[in-house]
A and B are shown apart, each in its own frame.
Chain A
Amino acid sequence: MFKFLRIYSAFIKQQIKSLMEYKIDFMMGMIALGVNQISTFLVIFAVFTQIKAIGSYSFNEILLFYGYSQIVRGIDHLYNDNIWVVGWNKIKDGSFSNYLVRPIPILSHIVMERFQFDGFGEVLIGLAIFIYAKINLGIAFGLAGWMVLGFFFFCGLAIYFSIKLATAAIAFWTVSSGELMSVIYEVNTFTKFPLDIYKNFFLKNFLIYILPFAIVSYFPIAYFLRDQNFISNLLGFRYYHRELLIVFVGFVTVLFYCASRFLWRMGLRHYNATGS
């Protein structure tokens, strides 16, 4: 564990150095990411000058969903960005072989190699919005609630990790899978807002059962804001204890994680270094 942290910090130091190489460019990039954070918020802001609620959600509830989804996305963005490079390029240009000959487990090496500072914007703005909305809604989680939220949070990160890993693993067969990764990842845009406002049966079930981005941020917040009748209707089956949702989320997460690890392992076995 200690060795892991030491190596990680060495990697991060190198990264900061390379970013500082082009200072003006880096500054502009940071400003750009700030602007990007503002834009969705601007839509919410503009719309709520005119209407009271979207679907059954008030302004603060919408913000709570948005803030939470940004935090999860941001953390994933921070630590788990290098997998994109694997999907786009590493296998195509043969540099994936580097991972195979180093004395560190492959996946932790991939994670450690790049720390994406862009994610800080998402995390900070997400936290600010989440806290603001939570205070205004006046909901108290209590210790048990926070622990449940912590569990959901962990599951959300695991889902992101699994989806990115599985789509990147496709590259072992197709050499590059960056496009596919982008498309699948982009589906998470739907989770910025509560899922039921879209009022689309197909979309709802797709995001719950096929590509479970709903697990990432929708169910965790719905669990605290709505009762179990409401969530039963969403899931399409009835359940009688509120806590069963936690089991459901955990179950789907484990299923997805195992499946993507399996795919990754198959891919590794299939891997052949490209020429040059």
Chain B
Amino acid sequence: MIKSILKYSGFTLNAVKEQYAYKFRAIIWTFYNFILLFVQYFLWNAIFEANGGALYDISVKKYLSYVVMGMITNSFLHCLIDGSIAEEIKSGNVSMNLIKPYNYIYMNFAKQIGYTLGSVISLSPLIIVAFFMTGLSFVSVQALLFFIVSIFLAYMIVFLFNMFLGMLAFWITNYWGLRLLKWHVFVIFSGELMAINMFFKIGNNGISNFPIPLPEAAVQLFFKTLGIISYCLPFQAMNYTPTAIYTGMINDTRQILVHLGVQVFWIIFMLGLVRLVWSKAKNQITILGG
């Protein structure tokens, strides 16, 4: 055990160093995050104020801390493994990793840990600014503990999912469209665009003064369907679950446990999928270039 940790820790260390090689880049990306943060913050602030400070039973303060916390969670869980695997496959470099005496999946996990450790430093300005904007207050100590469990589960899901997508490049070769698809579908169904429970609230609570002449039932059904799809896809387990637990959007202990259970399910599912795809890929591998 210790021996294998030592073996793979080299990859982790390298990944950390890689992050520090481009300090200017890290600083710039911090600003990038700030811009995204401000857009979301001011937009939702305006929306909630237009409705007198609350939408359904969610107060503006709670929702803003959800938005901000969601961004922090997202940056913490940021994973570039899919792109790097796909790149290795397209360029043919993956062959070098296949002939060496280590497990490709473990190696990538070690790398990913390194990236995360490296990015925590550039995450801190974001956390500080977010703290001054919303206070980032958590609901209870219990919620905080559940959040820590949940974010670790989410970390595993994100890693396995990206591993899976990257390895699909063995079949599709070019990894441009699939990556775009991942990004944009993630935005809608992960709770980044808006909290998943909002879908259900619109679905259940009826509609007041809708500007388009559409039957109320159809609109309700539409949003309810979006909510249900979110729970059928792994994305909500990657972002919505931890963020919503932290900010108290999910506050019932039984509900929290159900959400954690869903996360565990996705880990097992993804683990199986990654193993399956990896064993298939190894058999039909074509190395491009030379």
In the assembled complex, the Cα of A22 lies from the Cα of B181 at a distance in Å of: 15
Residues of chain B within 8 A of A55, CB atoms compared: 46, 50
> Of A48, A180, A186, A193, which is within 8 A of B211 by CB?
A48
Q: Which chain A residues numbered 147 to 186 have a C-beta less than 8 Å away from chain B?
A: 179-180, 182-183, 186
Residues of chain A within 8 A of B223, CB atoms compared: 46, 49
Task: Let me know if B207 is at the binding interface, CB within 8 A.
Answer: yes
Interface stretch of the complex, out of B113-121, B170-178, B270-278: B170-178
Q: Is the CB of A51 within 8 A of B51?
A: yes
Instruction: Give the interface SS of chain A, mostly helix, strand, loop or mixed.
Output: helix
Assuming the contacts A48-B211, A189-B39, asked whether A54 and B50 have C-beta atoms less than 8 A apart, the reply is yes
Q: Is the CB of B210 within 8 A of A48?
A: yes
Q: Is the CB of B46 within 8 A of A43?
A: no
Task: Let me know if B80 is at the binding interface, CB within 8 A.
Answer: no
Instruction: Give the interface SS of chain B, mostly helix, strand, loop or mixed.
Output: helix
Q: Is the CB of B209 within 8 A of A43?
A: no
Residues of chain A within 8 A of B219, CB atoms compared: 49
Centre residue among B51, B177, B188 by max chain A CB count within 10 A: B177
Interface string of B158-177 (1 = CB under 8 A from A): 00000000000000111111
Task: Let me know if A50 is at the binding interface, CB within 8 A.
Answer: yes
Q: Is the CB of B188 within 8 A of A39?
A: yes
Centre residue among A33, A60, A179 by max chain B CB count within 10 A: A179
Residues of chain A within 8 A of B29, CB atoms compared: 179, 183
Residues of chain A within 8 A of B188, CB atoms compared: 35, 38-39, 42
Q: Is the CB of A22 within 8 A of B180?
A: no
Interface string of B32-69 (1 = CB under 8 A from A): 10011011001101110011000110000000000000
Q: Is the CB of A183 within 8 A of B42?
A: no
The count of chain B contact residues (Cβ–Cβ below 8 Å) is: 48
Task: Let me know if A107 is at the binding interface, CB within 8 A.
Answer: no
Assuming the contacts A36-B184, A203-B38, asked whether A47 and B176 have C-beta atoms less than 8 A apart, the reply is no
Assuming the contacts A33-B184, A179-B29, asked whether A28 and B42 have C-beta atoms less than 8 A apart, the reply is no
User: B198's closest neighbor in chain A, by CB?
Assistant: A46
Q: Which chain B residues numbered 211 to 228 have a C-beta less than 8 Å away from chain A?
A: 211-212, 219, 223, 226
Task: Let me know if B25 is at the binding interface, CB within 8 A.
Answer: yes
> Of A25, A31, A35, which is within 8 A of B176 by CB?
A25
Residues of chain B within 8 A of A42, CB atoms compared: 188, 193, 226
Task: Let me know if B208 is at the binding interface, CB within 8 A.
Answer: yes
Q: Is the CB of B32 within 8 A of A186?
A: yes
Task: Let me know if B202 is at the binding interface, CB within 8 A.
Answer: yes
Q: Is the CB of A183 within 8 A of B202?
A: no
Centre residue among B32, B182, B199 by max chain A CB count within 10 A: B32
Distance in Å from the Cβ of B87 to the closest Cβ of chain A? Answer: 14
In the assembled complex, the Cα of A203 lies from the Cα of B43 at a distance in Å of: 12
Interface string of A49-85 (1 = CB under 8 A from B): 1111111001110000000000000000000000000
Residues of chain A within 8 A of B181, CB atoms compared: 28-29, 31-32, 35
Residues of chain B within 8 A of A51, CB atoms compared: 47, 50-51, 55
Task: Let me know if B28 is at the binding interface, CB within 8 A.
Answer: yes
The count of chain A contact residues (Cβ–Cβ below 8 Å) is: 45
Task: Let me know if A187 is at the binding interface, CB within 8 A.
Answer: yes
Assuming the contacts A30-B177, A42-B188, asked whether A179 and B25 have C-beta atoms less than 8 A apart, the reply is yes
Distance in Å from the Cβ of A217 to the closest Cβ of chain B? Answer: 15
> Of B32, B45, B50, B55, which is within 8 A of A53 by CB?
B50
Q: Is the CB of B193 within 8 A of A43?
A: yes
Q: Is the CB of A25 within 8 A of B209?
A: no
Q: Is the CB of B42 within 8 A of A26?
A: no
Task: Let me know if A262 is at the binding interface, CB within 8 A.
Answer: no
User: B52's closest neighbor in chain A, by CB?
Assistant: A51
In the assembled complex, the Cα of A198 lies from the Cα of B49 at a distance in Å of: 11
Distance in Å from the Cβ of B188 to the closest Cβ of chain A? Answer: 5
User: A30's closest neighbor in chain B, by CB?
Assistant: B177
Interface string of B175-201 (1 = CB under 8 A from A): 111101111110110000110001100
Distance in Å from the Cβ of B21 to the closest Cβ of chain A? Answer: 13
Task: Let me know if B31 is at the binding interface, CB within 8 A.
Answer: yes
Task: Let me know if A271 is at the binding interface, CB within 8 A.
Answer: no
> Of A29, A49, A54, A200, which is within 8 A of B180 by CB?
A29
Task: Let me know if A241 is at the binding interface, CB within 8 A.
Answer: no
Residues of chain B within 8 A of A46, CB atoms compared: 194, 198-199, 202, 223
In order of increasing CB-CB distance, the 10 nearest A-B pairs are: A29-B177, A28-B177, A32-B180, A22-B174, A32-B181, A59-B211, A198-B42, A179-B28, A25-B177, A36-B184
Chain A contact residues, CB within 8 Å of chain B:
21-22, 24-33, 35-36, 38-39, 42-43, 46-55, 58-60, 179-180, 182-183, 186-187, 189-190, 193, 197-200, 203
Between A and B, 13 residue pairs with Cβ closer than 8 Å are: A28-B177, A32-B180, A36-B183, A42-B188, A48-B210, A48-B211, A49-B202, A51-B51, A54-B46, A54-B50, A193-B43, A197-B46, A199-B46
**Known A35-B185, A186-B35; 4 more pairs at CB < 8 Å:** A25-B177, A29-B180, A33-B180, A42-B226
